[in-house]
Chain A
Amino acid sequence: MSAVISINNIRRVFVMGEQQFEALKGVSFDVNKGEFVAIMGASGSGKSTCMNIIGCLDPPTSGQYFLDGLDVGSMNGDQLADIRNKKLGFVFQGFNLLARTAAVENVELPLIYAGINSKERRSRAMAVLEEVGLKGKEFNHSSQLSGGQQQRVAIARALVNNPSLLLADEPTGNLDSSTTEEIMNLFTALNHAGITIIMVTHEHDVASFATRQITFRDGYIISDNKSSNKERKA
């Protein structure tokens, strides 16, 4: 199996005035194609910082990060934007959909920045929305959708550009338990279909849907367990 992500001794130091805070103190791991990884840890453990670095939203202070074999550390802002656009899909805790915008238009957004023409954008967005189970809701605005439906729109938006990697930051943090299960089942189905997923969560229930749990504490990885398929809830 080829590594989608290869992280080698990543450090991230935040400087706030005179104070220095080291959020990541040298982290290394690989994620292979088809894995479903849950990153766990208490708040302040460095898991979100690690996620931001993986998501190319934040540069590491030192260390190496290869995404699909590309050295992300040496890239400029525009190249990183293209990586985010074409290789990564984001799902956030707060959904982060554009207000007063139809579901299908939200999903089309990454394709706009990828420079794909409107006809193809529409057909691809419609197809992905159907895939996540939102057929018939394509033209609803965010305010007309439930939390679970909004998160499905966000997932569709993350998937529409066929990314190498789906990144989810507390995707179920704003959802009730039954909706949480729905979304996790969707993730599992997507993973079975071959999509690599990295998900940050602090809930063990949610993490147990993943095939691998990496736990952070105080800027270090303290455990990295691969669960067998039998142990998986789904």
Chain B
Amino acid sequence: MDFIQTIKISLRALRTNKMRSFLTMLGIIIGIAAVIAMMAVGSGASYVISQQIASIGSNIILVIPGATTSSGLRTGGGAHTLTSDDAKAIMSECPSVSMASGTVRSSGQAVYGNLNWSTLIMGGTPELFEIREWPVISGRSISQQDVDSASKVCILGLTVVENLFGSADPVGKVIRIKKIPFTVIGVLERKGQSPQGTDQDDTVFVPLRTAQRSLARENHTNNIAAILVQAKSEKLLTDAEEEINSLLKQRHRITGSKESDFTTRNLSEILAVAEKSAQAMSLLLGAVASISLIVGGIGIMNIMLVSVTERTREIGIRMAIGARKNDILMQFMTEAVILTLIGGLLGIAIGSVGATIVSKILSWPTLISIQSISVAFFFSGAIGIFFGLYPAKKAAALNPIDALRYE
């Protein structure tokens, strides 16, 4: 018997019991819809995290003052143990490091005309923008000369531009930060949210030395708040971290059991952990959803068993006029697989719509990938085969005479 004929016979049988077929399918529909929606929500979260990782820049190590103890990070407001020279030394002496930039940060009011905006003010060297892969979209970035001469120039994040200038071009204008006039030399590309949820575009960057001399609260003019280091490659991250540690210990004369006065943190590592936990989360959601899928599959098996019993006589007739065991097996398998595949398609549709609604209402990003759709589709087919096999085998194993006599 050819396959098309088998499908026709199966479809006819399913049409005969429309309501029952639909209710049977419902288990699969709900299961697949749940899996699709959960996978969409989960991979949406992973997507956001990986975007944030990309926004930080790659292969980054953060060196901050203060020591970690067993109870965690111990930082004091007055921990001023890192200097610009440390940053320069890291860049020149650590072979696994490609770039390093000392940074200082403070907050303050930026004023333009009668508008003012409270924002984060960061001092950095030209390398900072390369490490963070953060180019300017107009004007120019901070140059080494700006740093060396501590010139009063600044580049703005887009949030600052929007709040102080609206749609006007800020390049060449003068803003005042802590009453000191700064010339705007460039505007940075939009960066979006940081993994911690802060707006990275709400920042004014000034040359490091300018920040140290003019904006620092205290008179530690060579101190820096953190050093941002980029390793040459992902593989060299650990090497770079070790090199930095031994270099800084040497520079800070820390020997033996003496506590370090600085801490290195591998940012990509932290974010990789965050991404992993997001993946674990979506896996867990998927696992919960697949339980409903299995329940749906058992529903299919149940109804197929009922159907085999109900149609014992039909099976007998078919066998008497020449149906082979395999023909009967295929007929019932096809019925089960058609049920689950149609259920799967409907589930994919409903799950996708549901995910879209969730992302619209809760403004939670969702990502429906071709991958998850095809996985769901084939999985629903596999459920049909798995849960249809037993009833179909039962049908095919019937004795023709007994089946014919069945009332």
Residues of A bordering B, CB below 8 Å: 52, 55, 57-58, 77-78, 81-82, 84-86, 90, 92, 96-98, 100-101, 109-110, 112-115, 118, 157, 161
Given contacts A96-B313, A112-B5, A115-B2, contact A85 B321 (CB under 8 A): yes
Q: Would you list 22 pairs from A and B whose C-beta atoms are within 8 A, ordered by A residue?
A: A52-B401, A57-B319, A57-B401, A78-B324, A78-B326, A81-B319, A81-B322, A81-B323, A81-B324, A81-B325, A82-B322, A82-B324, A84-B319, A84-B320, A96-B317, A96-B320, A100-B16, A101-B12, A110-B321, A113-B318, A113-B323, A157-B321
Chain A residues with Cβ under 8 A from B314's Cβ? 98
Bound together, the chains give a CA A55 to CA B320 distance in angstroms of: 8
Q: A74: shortest Cβ distance to chain B, in Å?
A: 18
Please tell me if the beta carbons of A85 and B322 are within 8 angstroms of each other in the complex.
yes
Bound together, the chains give a CA A58 to CA B320 distance in angstroms of: 11
Q: B324: shortest Cβ distance to chain A, in Å?
A: 4
Instruction: Please tell me if B400 contacts chain A, counting CB pairs below 8 Å.
Output: yes
Contact for A110 among B5, B313, B322, B400, CB less than 8 A: B322
Residue of A nearest to B407 (CB): A94
Residue of B nearest to A158 (CB): B321
Residue of B nearest to A77 (CB): B325
Instruction: Please tell me if B275 contacts chain A, counting CB pairs below 8 Å.
Output: no
Chain A residues with Cβ under 8 A from B326's Cβ? 78
Chain A proximity mask over B311-336: 1 for CB below 8 Å, otherwise 0: 00110111111111111000000000
Please tell me if the beta carbons of B321 and A84 are within 8 angstroms of each other in the complex.
yes
Apart from A109-B317, A112-B1, A113-B318, 19 more pairs, CB < 8 Å: A57-B319, A57-B400, A81-B327, A85-B321, A90-B320, A90-B321, A96-B317, A96-B320, A98-B314, A98-B317, A101-B12, A109-B318, A110-B322, A112-B5, A113-B1, A113-B324, A113-B327, A115-B2, A118-B5
Instruction: Please tell me if B120 contacts chain A, counting CB pairs below 8 Å.
Output: no
Bound together, the chains give a CA A134 to CA B41 distance in angstroms of: 62
Contact for B321 among A100, A109, A118, CB less than 8 A: A109
Q: B316, B324, B326: which has the most chain A beta carbons within 10 Å?
A: B324
Chain B residues with Cβ under 8 A from A110's Cβ? 321-322
Residue of A nearest to B6 (CB): A112
Nearest 3 A-B pairs (CB), nearest first? Answer: A85-B322, A113-B322, A81-B324
Instruction: Please tell me if B305 contacts chain A, counting CB pairs below 8 Å.
Output: no
Instruction: Please tell me if B274 contacts chain A, counting CB pairs below 8 Å.
Output: no
Please tell me if the beta carbons of B1 and A115 are within 8 angstroms of each other in the complex.
yes
Bound together, the chains give a CA A82 to CA B319 distance in angstroms of: 10
Chain B residues with Cβ under 8 A from A118's Cβ? 5
Bound together, the chains give a CA A76 to CA B349 distance in angstroms of: 47
Q: A12: shortest Cβ distance to chain B, in Å?
A: 12
Instruction: Please tell me if B14 contacts chain A, counting CB pairs below 8 Å.
Output: no
Instruction: Please tell me if B111 contacts chain A, counting CB pairs below 8 Å.
Output: no
Contact for A78 among B12, B316, B325, CB less than 8 A: B325
Chain B residues with Cβ under 8 A from A157's Cβ? 321
Chain A residues with Cβ under 8 A from B16's Cβ? 100
Bound together, the chains give a CA A87 to CA B404 distance in angstroms of: 19
B261-320 contacts to A, CB under 8 A, are: 313-314, 316-320
Chain A residues with Cβ under 8 A from B316's Cβ? 96
Residue of B nearest to A114 (CB): B322
Chain B residues with Cβ under 8 A from A85's Cβ? 321-323
Bound together, the chains give a CA A58 to CA B401 distance in angstroms of: 7
Please tell me if the beta carbons of A113 and B321 are within 8 angstroms of each other in the complex.
yes
B387-407 contacts to A, CB under 8 A, are: 400-401, 404
Chain A residues with Cβ under 8 A from B12's Cβ? 101
Bound together, the chains give a CA A90 to CA B323 distance in angstroms of: 13
Chain A proximity mask over B323-354: 1 for CB below 8 Å, otherwise 0: 11111000000000000000000000000000
Chain B residues with Cβ under 8 A from A90's Cβ? 320-321
Residue of A nearest to B323 (CB): A113
Chain A residues with Cβ under 8 A from B327's Cβ? 81, 113
Chain A residues with Cβ under 8 A from B5's Cβ? 112, 118
Please tell me if the beta carbons of B324 and A77 are within 8 angstroms of each other in the complex.
yes
Bound together, the chains give a CA A224 to CA B173 distance in angstroms of: 122
Q: B313, B314, B320, B324: which has the most chain A beta carbons within 10 Å?
A: B320
Residue of A nearest to B314 (CB): A98
Bound together, the chains give a CA A182 to CA B72 distance in angstroms of: 100
Please tell me if the beta carbons of A57 and B1 are within 8 angstroms of each other in the complex.
no
Bound together, the chains give a CA A118 to CA B400 distance in angstroms of: 26
Q: B322, B323, B400, B404: which has the most chain A beta carbons within 10 Å?
A: B322
Chain A residues with Cβ under 8 A from B324's Cβ? 77-78, 81-82, 113
Residue of A nearest to B401 (CB): A57
Chain B residues with Cβ under 8 A from A77's Cβ? 324-325
